[in-house]
Structure 1
Amino acid sequence: MNATLVTEAGDVRWLRSDVALAAAARRRAGQLARAICLSEERVARVELCVTEMATNLLKHAEDGALALRVVRSRDRAAVECLSVDSGPGIDDIHGALRDGTSGSGSLGIGLGAIGRLADGFGVHSLRGRGTVVLARFWAGGPAPDPSPVETGGLTRPIGGEQVCGDTWAVRTAAGDSSDGLLLLMCDGLGHGPLAARVGDLARAAFRDSRGTEPAAVLQDIHHALRGSRGAAVAIALVDLIRHRVQLCGVGNITALVARRDGRSGLMSMPGIVGSHLPRLRTFDAVLPPGSALVMHSDGLSDRWKPADFPGLLAHDPSLVAAQILNQAAARRDDAGIVVAVHRQP
C-alpha cells in the first residue's frame, strides 16, 4: 500500500534584517497568502503580522532574519512566518504578550495580538542569545488537530546561494496508518543548484519508496541517486505504539533523541548514498513522551545540548527547528534540520 506524505521541505525565503525588511516581508507574505487562496481579509492579517515581526527585528534585535514559506500537512496548506534573531532576547515573555506592548515605532499590535490573529503561534527566547517567533495561517479552516507526534523542519542555504542542498520529508510508514512515521534528512554533497537537485531526487525516492523499514527506504534512495554527486542521508522510523525510534543513516547526519535532562545519539555509517553504500545498520532508541527526535546536517554543530534550550521542546516543531538552527548553524554551509516532537498524553 502506498504511503501518505505528511509534510516536506519547500522553498524558504530568507530575508535579512535591513531597512527594507518590512516592505519586502509584507510583499512576499502577501504573495504566499494569495497563492494558497486565503481571503483578502486573511491576507491583510498575514501582512500585518509579518510587518510587526519585521519592525520588531529592526528595532530590538542585534541581527536577525525572517523566514517565509508555505508549509503543507497532508492535504492542508499554510503560510508560515518565522522571525529569528541573535539577541538580546526577551526578559519577560508574558509581559511582551500583554496587549499594548510593542516595540517603539512598530505598528503597536504587539506579540499578543499576533498570537490571536494567527492560527498557530509561538515564541521562545534565550536571554542574551536570541528569540524565535512563529506565526502560521492555515487555508481552508482552522488548524489541524494536534497529533501524538508532530513534525517539522527548516533549511537555510549557505551565504550567497538561493537554494539549499539540504532537505527533509516526513511520510507514514504504510498507507494511512497512524502506527509509524518515516523521516528523511538529506544533505546533498556541495552547495547550490546541483546539491539541491540531489536533494530533490532523494525526496522523490523517499515519497515513492514502498519500503516500511529505514534500511529498505535508504536502499531505494541509493538507487535513485546513482550517477549524481551523492548525499549523506538518514532515515528514521518513529514507532507510535512502542514509543521507539529506529535509524539507518549513511554519511554525516546527526540524529539524536533530545530530552530535558539530556540526549541519546543514533549513529550513521561512513559512506556516500548514490556512490558508496556500506553495509547498512539500524540503531534503536526509546522516544518517550516529552522528548524529540532531532536530525540535522553537518551545517549545524553537533555539540548543542537540550539543557541549553529550556522549555523549547514544548513548542511547535518548526519553532524548535528554527531555534536550534539559530543557535547551532554555521554561516559557511547549508543547514537543514527535521524534528519530531512526541507530545505528553
Structure 2
Amino acid sequence: MATGSPLLVDCEDVAWFRDQPEAARGAAAALGRRIGLGDQRTAELTLAVTELATNMTKHAVDGSLLLRVLRNREVAGVEVVAVDSGPGMADIPAALRDGMSTAGTLGIGLGAVRRLADSFDIHSQPGTGTVQLARFWPRPPHTRVAGEPAVGGITRPISGEQVCGDAWAARTDTGEQAAPADGALDARPAQAGAAPHGWSALTGSRPTFERTPPEPPRTAPLVRPGTTSRALPVRAATPGPGQGMLVMSCDGLGHGPMAAVAAQAAVQAFRTGSSRTPEQAVEQVHRALRGTRGAAVAVARLEPDGRLLFCGVGNITAALVTTTTRSTLLSHPGIVGHQMRQLRTYEHRLPPHGILVMHSDGLSERWKAADLSSLLHHPPAVIAAGLLRHAGTRRDDASAVVAKAAW
C-alpha cells in the first residue's frame, strides 16, 4: 500500500426529499448560495438536482434524494445522492448517452448530470434499483478535494421526524494530532429548529488536539488474515506506525430530538478528542454522553498495513466484507453514557479489496456479502446508500458508514 494521507472531507447531511422535485430544486439553489458555490455553479447544481429528482418521480419506485454539504477548511461543496428501488437500468452507458430514453423524451438528464458534476457515480441493477452520486465544487476546481474519500456514510431519520438520532464520523490520526483540516469527516443529524428544508448553519471552526502519551505495548499477537470473526481481545492495544484512520458509528437511544442530542455529543467528543485507539475513543464518548439518553457506539481504527482495531458497545453491526465473505465484528452489551462493562478491543485484518461496514439497528442484520458484491468497486457513500436501500427500515433512524483501505 502507498503511505499517503487518506482523503477525508467533512460531510453534513442536509435534507431528504421524496417525490418533491420542486422542493429539492429550491433547497439546492438556497444551499449553493449559502455555501458560496457562485451563481453559475449554483445554477448547474440546481439543474442537476432537478434532472435527478424529476427522473425519479417519472421512472423510479420509492425514490429519495439527499442533499448534503461537503467541506474542508478551504472549500465547501454539495453532494447529491439519489436512491430508488427500481426498475433499474440494464445498460448504464446507453442511459448516459444523450438522446437515450425509455419514456419518449430526449433522455438527456443523466448525461447532463455527469457533465455538470465534478464527480459522478452510478450503480444500477434491473429489478433492484439505482444509486447515483454527484458532487459539485466551486470553480475553479480545488486540488485539495481531488479523488475519492476513503470513508462515506449516510443517515436517514425515522419517517415523520426532521432530525436523526444516528450519526457517523471519521478522522485521521498521526500520533501528533493537529487541527483536522483535511482529515476529519462527520455526518451529524440536523439541529432541532433548523433552517428551511432541513439545512443548518455551517461552522468554520476547527478543534485543536493535544499530543497523546505513548501507550504500553500490546500483549496479544496479530490475528492472522482470514480469522477476522474469531479475533481475540487485545489488552492495551497500541496504534501501529504511520497514519491511522478512525471511524465511528453512533445510534442515539430512541429517535427524535433527544436521540439527536446524544448523537451530536458523540460526534463532537470523537472529533475533538485526543484518542488514538477505539477503546480510548469509546471512553471519551462515554464521558461526553453522561446526562444524555446515551447511545450505541462502535469505533474502528484502520492502518496502512491492513491492521484493524475495533471496539463496540450496543447494537451497532460491524462487518468486514468482500465479494464472497462477511465476517461480523464483536460488540458487547451496554449503553455508552450510562452503563458499560469493561471495554475490549479486537484486532482484525481488512481483507484485500474488502471494506469495513458499520450500521445502526435501523438496518436489518440479515444482509449477505452477495447483496453488496456488485457495489464494492463504487465509492463508499454509494455502497452505504445501497445497503440502506436494501436493509433499511423507516420504523427507526438508520445509518450506515463504509470505509475502504486508503493507502
TM-score, normalization by structure 2: 0.78
Most deviating of 307-316 and 49-58? 307-316
1:100–1:110 contact (8 Å) kept in structure 2: no
1:5–1:74 contact (8 Å) kept in structure 2: no
Question: Cα deviations across residues 56-106 of structure 1 (Å, max 9, x unaligned)?
Answer: 111111221111111234644221111111111111112111122246476
Matched residue, 2:193: none
Matched residue, 2:49: 50
Question: Cα deviations across residues 107-160 of structure 1 (Å, max 9, x unaligned)?
Answer: 74231221111011111112212111111102364362336x711111000001
Most deviating of 248-257 and 305-314? 305-314
Matched residue, 2:395: 332
- Whole-Å separation in 1 of the counterparts to 2:74 and 2:121: 23
Q: What's the CA shift for 1:313?
A: 1.3
- Whole-Å separation in 1 of the counterparts to 2:277 and 2:105: 50
Matched residue, 2:61: 62
2:282–2:311 contact (8 Å) kept in structure 1: yes
Matched residue, 2:245: 181
Q: What's the CA shift for 1:233?
A: 0.3
| Aligned-partner residue type, residue 146 of structure 1 | G
Matched residue, 2:136: 137
Matched residue, 2:341: 278
- Whole-Å separation in 2 of the counterparts to 1:36 and 1:186: 27
Q: What's the CA shift for 1:8?
A: 5.0
Most deviating of 70-79 and 320-329? 70-79
Matched residue, 1:297: 360
| Aligned-partner residue type, residue 94 of structure 1 | P
Please say which structure displays the higher CA radius of gyration. 2
Distance change >3 Å, CA 246–CA 340, structure 1 → 2: same
Report how many aligned residue pairs link the two structures: 336
Matched residue, 2:15: 13
- Whole-Å separation in 2 of the counterparts to 1:9 and 1:45: 21
Matched residue, 1:234: 298
| Aligned-partner residue type, residue 12 of structure 1 | V
Aligned residue for 1:89, secondary structure, equals coil
Matched residue, 1:190: 254
Aligned residue for 2:335, secondary structure, equals coil
Distance change >3 Å, CA 9–CA 189, structure 1 → 2: farther
Mapped pair 1:250 → 2:313: yes
- Whole-Å separation in 1 of the counterparts to 2:61 and 2:170: 34
- Whole-Å separation in 2 of the counterparts to 1:272 and 1:173: 26
- Whole-Å separation in 2 of the counterparts to 1:135 and 1:5: 17
Matched residue, 1:171: 171
Aligned residue for 1:66, secondary structure, equals strand
% same residue: 52
Q: What's the CA shift for 1:9?
A: 5.0
Matched residue, 2:150: 150
Mapped pair 1:219 → 2:221: no
- Whole-Å separation in 2 of the counterparts to 1:54 and 1:92: 20
- Whole-Å separation in 2 of the counterparts to 1:79 and 1:198: 26
Most deviating of 33-42 and 326-335? 33-42
Stretches of structure 1 that go unaligned for 5 or more consecutive residues are none
1:123–1:134 contact (8 Å) kept in structure 2: yes
Aligned residue for 2:46, secondary structure, equals helix
Matched residue, 1:116: 115
2:13–2:154 contact (8 Å) kept in structure 1: no
| Aligned-partner residue type, residue 257 of structure 1 | L
- Whole-Å separation in 2 of the counterparts to 1:203 and 1:229: 15
1:62–1:85 contact (8 Å) kept in structure 2: yes
- Whole-Å separation in 2 of the counterparts to 1:304 and 1:74: 37
| Aligned-partner residue type, residue 78 of structure 1 | G
- Whole-Å separation in 2 of the counterparts to 1:259 and 1:115: 28
Distance change >3 Å, CA 214–CA 77, structure 1 → 2: same
Q: What's the CA shift for 1:243?
A: 1.1
- Whole-Å separation in 2 of the counterparts to 1:288 and 1:135: 28
- Whole-Å separation in 1 of the counterparts to 2:173 and 2:290: 24
Q: What's the CA shift for 1:10?
A: 2.0
Most deviating of 194-203 and 166-175? 166-175
- Whole-Å separation in 2 of the counterparts to 1:185 and 1:271: 15
2:250–2:263 contact (8 Å) kept in structure 1: yes
Aligned residue for 1:31, secondary structure, equals helix
Most deviating of 323-332 and 102-111? 102-111
| Aligned-partner residue type, residue 252 of structure 1 | N
Aligned residue for 1:227, secondary structure, equals coil
TM-score, normalization by structure 1: 0.91
Aligned residue for 1:314, secondary structure, equals coil
Distance change >3 Å, CA 332–CA 232, structure 1 → 2: same
Distance change >3 Å, CA 41–CA 106, structure 1 → 2: farther
